[in-house]
Chains A and B, each alone.
Chain A
Amino acid sequence: MKERLAIIDGIRTPFCKAGGVLSALTADDLGAIAIRELMARTAFPPGQLDELIAGNVAQPIEAANVARVIALKAGLPASLIASSVHRNCASGMEAITTAANRIFSDEATAIITVGCESMSNIPLMYGRSMTALFARLMRAKTTWQRLATWASFRPTMLTPVVGVQVGLTDPVCGLNMGQTAEILAREFAVTRQDQDEFALMSHQRAVAAQARLAEEIVPVALPPAYAQVQSVDDGPRASQDLAALAKLRPYFDKLCGTVTVGNSCPLTDGAAALLVMSERKARELGLSPLGYLRDYAYAALDGRRMGLGPVFATAKLAAKTGLSLKDFDLIEINEAFAAQAVACERAFASESFARAELGRTQALGQIDRARLNVNGGAIALGHPVGASGARLVLTLLKELRRRSAKRGLATLCIGGGQGAALALEVS
């Protein structure tokens, strides 16, 4: 990228466990709440927006092109175009980078990007056999045909297809995301102890960061009773300890696995929105942006090792920009699983990995944990898949500012075998 993308400001809803307090709100409601607050706080004239781009994974069936639904629900002008983007777990980042492309190809000057997900509202579906039965019923013309069709009904046909489960399974390699984490745990010898310690760190840091994170959160009054206001993420546990984590049974490989629900990220609801434009435009308008996107890279790899996506993407970003790990004051690696995050740390530091897999002569570099996920990560805060990418950018920029630091790296692994890396700056 020649010019930087200015990120004027951002806001997000609290991230809350799926099936919990935010479950009455759909992905588009959550996106609209975040955007309405963003527009209100920035007081940016809605008429000057050129597009809304929304990243969302589960694509609610009642809101095709969720971006347009969000735009209208957020009260943006009816004349605003809106498109939805999908790069699985990086959809929130994809919205930002797509916006950058639009802006630097002169198709737009100011864009709202949003990442949103309501994993509470991912539906259960009828399976193939039941769907086929309905289709036959629809074609049946006589009562006799109808009866005959019903006669083929078996109760097992009612077993639902759980949308969330299917969504979190790679249809090509056939592995569930947790199973890919088990593969990395073995490859990099990430022990159960290593994973649980990492998970505990995530919780401790997130709990300690509550007040800081509140700066990026708009409290949400919870419908339909409106008796409660959710103003913090509900994942982080102050009382978390290693003993409790150690008690949990492996979830994905019950026989000899290491990945538990305690050292994985939970299913989560949430949304994060950003207002972006070119650096030049921001200067013209006299705005002081929260920060800038300097450059970015996406990389692809074997879906069975999708968790290493950040390493591949960062290598590509380094090659593209000449930046090295030392140049980043803070680093975010999205914590899909502790095993996966620790595996990334080790791959970053490994020269042999760099030679064999990244085509580099040197390792990308050792990551100092004091600079990694300093406000906790998805294991504690949760991972609303479409929203996380946007949250990483928002949280990282706010923290860089707080520390008067300069540059940060936001990376994320992507189900299906990709990785994303964004170089962010605040000055």
Chain B
Amino acid sequence: MNPPVTIAAPTSAPVTSSSSATARREDDRMNAFTIKISDGIARVLIDLPGEKVNIFSAEVVAELGEVVRQLQGMPELRAAVFESGKPGVFIAGADIRELQTIATRSDALAKAQAGQRLFQRLATLPMPTIAVIDGACMGGGLEFALACTYRIVSDEDKTSLALPEVTLGIIPGWGGTQRLPRLIGVTAALDMILSGKPVNARKAVKLGLADGCSARAFLPGAVRAFLAEALTPIGSTAIVARRPHGWRRQLLEGNPAGRLLLFRTASAQLVRKTRGLMPAPLSALAVVRETISHELESGLEIEAEHFADLATTPSCKALIDCFFANELARKEGVLSKGVAEGKSEARPLHAAVLGAGVMGGGIAWAFANHGMPVRLKDLAWEAVAKGLKTAHDYDQQLVRIRKLTPAAANQSMLRISGTLDYRGFSAIDVVVEAVVEDLAIKRKVLAELEGGIRDDCLVCTNTSSLSVSAMAEAMRHPDRLVGMHFFNPVNRMPLVEVVPGQRTSPACVAEVAGLVRRLGKTAVVVKDCPGFLVNRILLPYLNEAARLLEDGAGLAEIDRVIYDFGMPMGPFTLSDDVGLDVGYKVAKILAAHYGERMKVADALRIAYEEMHLLGTKGGRGFYLHDGKEALPNQELINRVAAASGRHPAHGSPIASDDIRDRCLLIMVNEAVRCLEEQVVAKPAILDLAMIMGTGFPPQRGGLLHYANQLGSRFVADRLKQLSDRCGSRFAPCQTIIDLAREGSPFPT
């Protein structure tokens, strides 16, 4: 292939109104940009050679500087139009890899300031500039577009404008926090900046973020017409006047009292949503509040300072690592790419789900919601109806938040058909088994199933604690059985553990990983050990919380400490939600396999075996779920205290530090064991799985990142100390001891 021909206007090109002038640049420095001048209008095409998307890497930013310099040298130009050569993408944002390499605060500051200065030069060009946005326009890309005089969008689905910086633990650092509020108002700007959520073309026009909108097919004409208007003094005034100036905005933002109210509300909302645990959105809010009445120049300075403060924080690093782990998981899931893409993506998939419980119903929903017809089999129609109800509820949740139209929900429900037998299973391509967690029953079901399906039908099991290999023994074709462990509730939990058994073929694993992707979820391939990855690490934590209860810590207190740490809920709330029957069953299976360190806590045994508590679904668990607010189950607390020979009133208070470390470090210890046993291929994937599977706070980056923040020495010492005091289950595993001795960090 020929190298891309880069054409740019010579700086001294005579610009006439009739002739078009293009020329080849002398040096080869400019790759991403092509400038074409015609009729006094410069068209700058942004098209990174050899890339799928346009991103602002340092190199591209430098080239943009050159483009701006050239435009500055041509004051006779009437306008400059920026367009992307990539289908579906305008500019996807700054290069996150470069963000990852920022080492010091001054590096970060320099990076922000360089971008800011460049965009300032762009904003102050003598001619008007127009960004033609047909596709994704993210982060630095949107900040670039904001520095242009006007923005025109296409109404394609892919057109999407966002400042997603806070999701990476930083704030927009190239003027985004300054130009966006000035353009669309503080309220709308905060909505975008604090959430990082994208707006589509329609919304962009409504907000005044875009000055024009056109179908892609008519975009060139629309740009011409827009230019014709913008290049007249009356027209340009009219365009600016057309930007919305709602009375509400005036009322709220036009005076100090209104602004005070606005920022108070925003701050309260933010704290409620992030519990004050996410530094980036808080900082973004502070920047906007502080700079709203400043001049742009000084506002930019403050923005850069805040950006620099955040860019080197552990939470920023953690979120960026998490982003890359996610990217890795996308690829990692596919062992042999050809198989997965060639087969599972191409053919229309007919699915079947065995067992219509909450999980079965949820899995059926996932298939139906992604356009795949699914047979939902159970033993009685009443059970099937329950599964349909689960799917219907998940659909309706989406309808309520307008993520799904009622018509699409109706379609999705019609894709699920109930059955009590295996009639017609010869047309099924993939079966997911979600019957009761009992090896004998599962084996029987799988053997039965194989009588009704084709030999090339994929079989998955949604077991959470049983061995895939053991299950496969009952099958004629054990190579096609793959563990496909969804988490509850299926509609909310993004993670699926893909578990190959001993005899599973790699092609089947790849197909299941591909299928998980088709269901919009993230696949993590893990080893077939009891509890797999997530539950194996999570159960010791739930167990330890129960032991803390035995040792006299307050039930609500334990939950609060853990919640404050950033977990989405405390361990007892989680136990109640999962169901004490389910939790106890899994705990016993893990105890049987891993022995002493996972011995089931007495409190769990008392709750389930003696008091027959079921958790939220039964109305009573660690909490009483009768009224509006769940109250700690005092009877259970008393019984647990009595069993451990303590008077309930005389529990020795346990320090929050101890509560936190006992709950979290026991997980760290197990996580490192999982690495030792290669339960998961990469440490980054382990962290990602804990974030996605348990809601471990992403800004802490997962268990291993968290352990690193503590330091391997501290972790090892603390575990030893806890081991002496509370029991050998805390004894640090060999890897932790080794890391501490070498003073090395945990692998991440």
Query: Chain B's nearest CB lies how many Å from the CB of A105?
Result: 30
For residue A322, CB closer than 8 A to chain B, the reply is no
For residue A37, CB closer than 8 A to chain B, the reply is yes
Chain A residue with minimal CB distance to B396?
A: A224
Chain A residue with minimal CB distance to B350?
A: A40
In Å, the complex CA distance between A1 and B388 comes to 45
Q: Is B423 a contact partner of A41 (Cβ separation < 8 A)?
A: yes
In Å, the complex CA distance between A73 and B424 comes to 19
Residues of A close to B389: CB separation below 8 A:
221, 225-227
For residue A324, CB closer than 8 A to chain B, the reply is no
Q: Is B385 a contact partner of A227 (Cβ separation < 8 A)?
A: yes
Which residue from B381, B415, B417 sits with its C-beta under 8 Å from A37? B417
Q: Which of A179-224 contact B (CB under 8 A)?
A: 218-219, 221-224
Chain A 60-84 near chain B by CB (<8 Å), digits 1 or 0: 0000000000000111000000000
In Å, the complex CA distance between A74 and B419 comes to 16
Query: Chain B's nearest CB lies how many Å from the CB of A222?
Result: 8
Query: Chain A's nearest CB lies how many Å from the CB of B410?
Result: 7
Q: Is B385 a contact partner of A229 (Cβ separation < 8 A)?
A: yes
Residues of A close to B9: CB separation below 8 A:
none
Q: Is B392 a contact partner of A40 (Cβ separation < 8 A)?
A: no
For residue B379, CB closer than 8 A to chain A, the reply is no
How many residues in B have their beta carbons less than 8 Å from beta carbons of A? 24
Which residue from A42, A73, A222 sits with its C-beta under 8 Å from B411? A73
Residues of A close to B417: CB separation below 8 A:
33, 36-37, 40, 218
Query: Chain A's nearest CB lies how many Å from the CB of B731?
Result: 50
Residues of B close to A73: CB separation below 8 A:
410-411, 414
Q: Knowing A41-B424, A226-B388, say if A75 contacts B373 (CB, 8 Å).
A: yes
For residue B205, CB closer than 8 A to chain A, the reply is no
Count, A-B residue pairs, CB within 8 A: 62
Residues of B close to A219: CB separation below 8 A:
381, 418
Which residue from B375, B382, B410, B414 sits with its C-beta under 8 Å from A40? B375
Which residue from A29, A39, A43, A218 sits with its C-beta under 8 Å from B426? A43
Chain A residue with minimal CB distance to B386?
A: A226
Residues of A close to B495: CB separation below 8 A:
none
Chain B 414-452 near chain A by CB (<8 Å), digits 1 or 0: 110111000111110000000000000000000000000
Q: Knowing A43-B424, A43-B426, A73-B414, say if A221 contacts B419 (CB, 8 Å).
A: no
In Å, the complex CA distance between A350 and B188 comes to 83
In Å, the complex CA distance between A264 and B389 comes to 36
In Å, the complex CA distance between A220 and B61 comes to 61
Q: Which of A71-114 contact B (CB under 8 A)?
A: 73-75
Q: Which of B645-680 contact A (CB under 8 A)?
A: none
Chain A 9-42 near chain B by CB (<8 Å), digits 1 or 0: 0000000000000000000010011001101111
Q: Is A221 a contact partner of B411 (Cβ separation < 8 A)?
A: no
Q: Knowing A73-B411, A221-B418, A223-B413, say if A36 contacts B385 (CB, 8 Å).
A: no
Residues of A close to B384: CB separation below 8 A:
221, 229
Which residue from A75, A227, A228 sits with its C-beta under 8 Å from B414? A75
In Å, the complex CA distance between A226 and B388 comes to 7
Q: Is B385 a contact partner of A29 (Cβ separation < 8 A)?
A: no
Q: Knowing A224-B392, A225-B389, say if A42 contacts B424 (CB, 8 Å).
A: yes
For residue A231, CB closer than 8 A to chain B, the reply is yes
Query: Chain B's nearest CB lies how many Å from the CB of A110?
Result: 15
Which residue from B375, B381, B386, B411 sits with its C-beta under 8 Å from A231? B381
Residues of A close to B426: CB separation below 8 A:
43
In Å, the complex CA distance between A33 and B381 comes to 15
Q: Is A33 a contact partner of B423 (Cβ separation < 8 A)?
A: no
Q: Is B388 a contact partner of A221 (Cβ separation < 8 A)?
A: yes
Query: Chain A's nearest CB lies how many Å from the CB of B409?
Result: 10
In Å, the complex CA distance between A29 and B415 comes to 11
Q: Is B392 a contact partner of A226 (Cβ separation < 8 A)?
A: yes
Query: Chain A's nearest CB lies how many Å from the CB of B663?
Result: 39
Chain A residue with minimal CB distance to B421?
A: A41
Residues of B close to A37: CB separation below 8 A:
417
How many residues in A have their beta carbons less than 8 Å from beta carbons of B? 26
Q: Which of B535-569 contact A (CB under 8 A)?
A: none
Chain B residue with minimal CB distance to A42?
A: B424
In Å, the complex CA distance between A161 and B416 comes to 37
Query: Chain B's nearest CB lies how many Å from the CB of A113?
Result: 19
In Å, the complex CA distance between A40 and B352 comes to 11
Which residue from B414, B419, B425, B427 sits with its C-beta under 8 Å from A29? B414
Residues of B close to A224: CB separation below 8 A:
392, 396
In Å, the complex CA distance between A42 and B388 comes to 23
Q: Is B414 a contact partner of A221 (Cβ separation < 8 A)?
A: no
Q: Is A40 a contact partner of B388 (Cβ separation < 8 A)?
A: no
Which residue from B413, B414, B418, B427 sits with its C-beta under 8 Å from A74? B414
In Å, the complex CA distance between A180 and B388 comes to 44
In Å, the complex CA distance between A231 and B384 comes to 13
Q: Knowing A41-B423, A75-B415, A226-B386, say if A36 contacts B373 (CB, 8 Å).
A: yes
Chain B 613-641 near chain A by CB (<8 Å), digits 1 or 0: 00000000000000000000000000000
Residues of A close to B418: CB separation below 8 A:
219, 221
In Å, the complex CA distance between A229 and B382 comes to 7
In Å, the complex CA distance between A137 and B411 comes to 37
Query: Chain A's nearest CB lies how many Å from the CB of B224?
Result: 36
In Å, the complex CA distance between A386 and B369 comes to 31
In Å, the complex CA distance between A36 and B373 comes to 9
In Å, the complex CA distance between A218 and B396 comes to 25
In Å, the complex CA distance between A191 and B385 comes to 46
Q: Is B392 a contact partner of A223 (Cβ separation < 8 A)?
A: yes
Residues of A close to B419: CB separation below 8 A:
40
Q: Which of B357-400 contact A (CB under 8 A)?
A: 373, 375, 381-382, 384-386, 388-389, 392, 396
Chain A residue with minimal CB distance to B383?
A: A229
Chain B residue with minimal CB distance to A62?
A: B407
Query: Chain B's nearest CB lies how many Å from the CB of A77?
Result: 8
Chain A residue with minimal CB distance to B415?
A: A75
In Å, the complex CA distance between A229 and B427 comes to 25
Chain A 339-361 near chain B by CB (<8 Å), digits 1 or 0: 00000000000000000000000
From A221, A222, A223, residue with most partner B Cβ within 10 Å? A221
In Å, the complex CA distance between A123 and B185 comes to 47
In Å, the complex CA distance between A403 and B396 comes to 47
Chain B residue with minimal CB distance to A45?
A: B427
Q: Is A36 a contact partner of B423 (Cβ separation < 8 A)?
A: no
Query: Chain B's nearest CB lies how many Å from the CB of A43?
Result: 4
In Å, the complex CA distance between A227 and B385 comes to 7
In Å, the complex CA distance between A285 and B308 comes to 71
Query: Chain B's nearest CB lies how many Å from the CB of A29?
Result: 7
In Å, the complex CA distance between A426 and B411 comes to 36
Residues of B close to A33: CB separation below 8 A:
414, 417
Chain B residue with minimal CB distance to A75?
A: B373
Query: Chain A's nearest CB lies how many Å from the CB of B6?
Result: 44
In Å, the complex CA distance between A73 and B414 comes to 7
Residues of B close to A41: CB separation below 8 A:
423-424
In Å, the complex CA distance between A43 and B419 comes to 14
In Å, the complex CA distance between A219 and B420 comes to 10
Chain B residue with minimal CB distance to A32?
A: B414
In Å, the complex CA distance between A74 and B410 comes to 11
Residues of A close to B373: CB separation below 8 A:
36, 75
In Å, the complex CA distance between A85 and B475 comes to 49
Chain A residue with minimal CB distance to B392?
A: A226
Given A36-B415, A41-B424, A43-B426: 12 more A-B contacts, CB < 8 Å: A33-B414, A33-B417, A37-B417, A42-B424, A43-B427, A73-B414, A75-B373, A75-B415, A219-B381, A226-B386, A226-B392, A229-B384
| CB<8 Å pairs between A and B, sample of 24 | A29-B410, A32-B414, A36-B373, A36-B414, A36-B415, A39-B424, A41-B424, A42-B424, A43-B424, A45-B427, A73-B410, A73-B414, A74-B414, A75-B414, A75-B415, A221-B384, A221-B389, A221-B418, A223-B413, A224-B392, A224-B396, A226-B389, A227-B385, A228-B385
B positions within 8 Å CB-CB of A: 373, 375, 381-382, 384-386, 388-389, 392, 396, 410-411, 413-415, 417-419, 423-427
Q: Which 5 A-B pairs have the closest CB atoms?
A: A226-B389, A221-B385, A43-B427, A229-B381, A40-B424
